[in-house]
């Protein structure tokens, strides 16, 4: 086999490269980088909807304590409907670190 047909992986084992054809169409919308903007837009829309339902706004998110009951309720609803990451929830809801969000959600069950 020619050296160009193999690629070194992390552990040093050689693996065969994927064959790609110039005229082929690949599923680009299944790639994570193509999904991410759509998922983020959905998460932002769901957050705005939940905030309106609670009668809260951006200032309330910034000023309320990290583990406030309504923040935990919004986080739980978003996790069950649009499944954002704990990091995204922590940043958008001003709840501290992602691990803190996970702890708040597990305690509230």
Domain residue ranges of the chain, discontinuous segments joined by +: 56-109
- Residue of 74, 82, 72 lying closest to 51 (CA atoms): 74
H helix and E strand count, the chain: 5, 2
Q: How confident is the model at residue 14 (pLDDT cuts 50, 70, 90)?
A: low
- List, for residues 34-89, the tens digit of each pLDDT value: 557 778 889 999 999 999 999 999 999 999 999 999 999 999 999 999 989 999 99
> To the nearest 5 percent, what fractions of the chain are helix, strand and coil?
60, 5, 35
């Amino acid at each position: 086999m020619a050296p160009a047909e193999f690629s070194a992986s992390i552990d040093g084992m050689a693996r065969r490269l994927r064959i790609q054809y110039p005229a082929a169409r690949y599923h680009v919308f299944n790639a994570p980088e193509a999904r991410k903007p759509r998922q983020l837009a959905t998460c932002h829309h769901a957050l705005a909807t939940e905030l309106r339902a609670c009668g809260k706004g951006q200032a309330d998110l910034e000023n309320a304590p990290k583990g406030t009951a309504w923040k935990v309720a919004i986080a739980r609803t978003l996790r069950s409907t649009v499944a954002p990451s704990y990091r995204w929830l922590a940043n958008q809801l001003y709840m501290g670190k992602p691990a803190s969000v996970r702890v708040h959600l597990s305690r509230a069950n």
